[in-house]
């Protein structure tokens, strides 16, 4: 029978009390290690049979992901039970489970993480974890196993699970309805597709809040004729991160049965090179009639989204949110862990920022600065995809997208990295569903307002 051992999670001011609760030997052992409750520090407790328990320092942080380091630090030949402490069971469960995530689908002998027992996990925690895991799995899947068709098929599975309608658009229908998206994927042997998911909560009235989501689903990005260097191409399976995150948001919203009306549009393509691929200086015509000069074929994400945004906006949603791994400039400005938020509506921006702060899934707002709009002027078309100036790349990309969203629509654009470059508590190396929990929390609060 597997032994069940205790885990004590404490803040610095709780360390003296912990020492008094433990035996003299264990307290002395922790003192010798200078255990002071610092954030993320894990120490095993000795006992007559070897390991008798563990302690986790919480520091002063309220972020539940501090519990995420336990799964790697605890021996797997025991079950572990969290003792009551200065946290909620939901916080501990969420952090632990997100830290226990592993992409093991392609491993012949996957390593198992440590396991908690006797958890009273809430439906909300399970819903968020499931959505996060699906998004992480999609981002981590190698590009030979996840192309445009496979990404749409995953959306179809989610729609079927929750009784949503899903429209799958490809071939001539895609070229007619989303011509710019179609042009981005024309260079690949794996044809581009789009998915449009529609759903309403079981308790949503006819005039329920209407949420529309648009995700960039570039399943692999070579850069096209403006070819990326090999080092920059290594992580480009994650270029569908925006679509994965928003599909995860949709799954969570539907699983929680929030009283909203929901639409999700995913543009699923591969940006490749061939005789059919778009070229620098090509001019494309959007479904809105706007002509677009292709300034750089590696700035394809904004082309994937522009027609999706135009169609979504035409339905007059209360909130229109897009997510995309759009620019390296956003990472230069804010680093890998802080998604950039651009928003045309202060109330929507405030809701997303507040929600992100409350669930420790932060965003940072950057400006849609009108002074940079002329940078997208083209001598041959209505607009260029990029600016000739080497500045403000994330802002310029957001301004391009805003061209396709009418002013009266409350619209937010989230520029995400969708990746953890190294493993930290709650954030295993690999694909990451950044902003998912923030968006779900914001929608949940908006639905009740």
CA dist 330 to 236, 300, 337, 362, Å?
Answer: 16, 16, 11, 14
H or E element that contains 183: helix 179-185
Q: Which of 265, 302, 331, 437 is catalytic?
A: 302
The angle subtended at Cα 415 by Cα 414 and Cα 417, nearest 5°, is 130
Q: Among residues 12, 137, 129, which one has the least CA distance to residue 65? A: 129
H or E element that contains 429: none
* C-beta separation of 243 from 266 below 8 A: yes
Q: Can you read off the two tokens belonging to residue 432?
A: 């990451």
Confirm whether 228 is a catalytic residue: yes
Q: What is the sign of the dihedral through the CA atoms of 226, 229, 230 and 231?
A: negative
Q: Which of 81, 168, 177, 228 is catalytic?
A: 228
Q: Can you read off the two tokens belonging to residue 186?
A: 């024309």
Residues 6 or more apart whose Cβ sits within 8 Å of residue 15: 35, 36, 37
Between the two ends of the chain, the Cα-to-Cα distance in Å is: 51
H or E element that contains 239: none
Number of helical H runs and strand E runs in the chain: 15, 18
* C-beta separation of 90 from 62 below 8 A: no
* C-beta separation of 44 from 76 below 8 A: no
Residues 6 or more apart whose Cβ sits within 8 Å of residue 419: 139, 235, 238, 241, 336, 430, 431, 432
* C-beta separation of 255 from 161 below 8 A: no
Cα separation, 199 vs 202, in Å, equals 9
Give catalytic residues, as residue numbers.
Answer: 228, 302
């Amino acid at each position: 029978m597997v032994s069940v051992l205790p885990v004590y999670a404490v803040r610095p001011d709780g360390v003296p009390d912990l020492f008094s609760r433990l035996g003299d030997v264990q307290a002395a052992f922790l003192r010798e290690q200078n255990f002071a409750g610092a954030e993320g520090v894990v120490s095993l407790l000795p006992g007559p049979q070897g390991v008798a328990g563990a302690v986790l320092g919480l520091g002063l942080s309220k972020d539940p992901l501090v519990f995420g380091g336990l799964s790697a630090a605890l021996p797997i030949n025991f079950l572990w039970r969290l003792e009551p402490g200065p946290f909620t069971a939901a916080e501990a469960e969420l952090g632990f489970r997100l830290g226990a995530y592993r992409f093991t689908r392609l491993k012949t002998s996957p390593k198992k993480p440590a396991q908690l027992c006797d958890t009273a996990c809430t439906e909300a925690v399970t819903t968020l974890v499931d959505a996060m895991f699906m998004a992480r799995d999609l981002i981590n899947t190698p590009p030979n196993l996840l192309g445009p068709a496979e990404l749409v098929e995953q959306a179809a599975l989610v729609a079927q699970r929750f009784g949503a309608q899903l429209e799958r658009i490809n071939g001539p229908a895609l070229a007619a309805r989303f011509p710019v998206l179609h042009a981005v994927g024309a260079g690949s042997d794996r044809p581009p597709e789009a998915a449009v998911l529609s759903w309403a909560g079981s308790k949503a009235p006819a005039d329920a809040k209407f949420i529309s989501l648009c995700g960039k689903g570039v399943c692999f990005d070579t850069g096209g004729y403006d070819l990326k260097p090999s080092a920059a191409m290594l992580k480009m399976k994650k270029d569908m991160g925006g679509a994965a995150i928003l599909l995860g948001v949709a799954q969570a919203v539907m699983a929680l049965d929030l009283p909203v009306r929901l639409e999700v549009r995913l543009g699923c393509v591969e940006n490749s090179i061939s005789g059919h691929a778009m070229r620098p200086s090509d001019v494309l015509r959007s479904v809105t009639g706007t002509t677009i000069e292709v300034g750089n074929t590696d700035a394809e994400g904004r082309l994937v989204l522009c027609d999706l945004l135009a169609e979504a906006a035409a339905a007059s949603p209360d909130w229109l949110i897009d997510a995309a791994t759009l620019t390296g400039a956003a990472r230069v400005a804010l680093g890998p862990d802080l998604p950039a938020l651009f928003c045309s509506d202060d109330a929507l921006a405030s809701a997303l920022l507040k929600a992100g702060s409350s669930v420790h899934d932060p965003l940072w707002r950057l400006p849609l600065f009108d002074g940079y709009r002329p940078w997208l002027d083209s001598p041959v078309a209505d607009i260029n995809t990029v600016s000739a100036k080497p500045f403000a790349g994330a802002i310029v990309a957001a301004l391009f997208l805003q061209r396709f969203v009418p002013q009266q629509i409350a619209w937010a654009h989230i520029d995400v990295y969708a990746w953890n470059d190294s493993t930290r508590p709650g954030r295993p190396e690999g694909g990451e569903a950044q902003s998912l929990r923030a968006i779900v929390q914001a929608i949940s609060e908006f639905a009740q307002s």
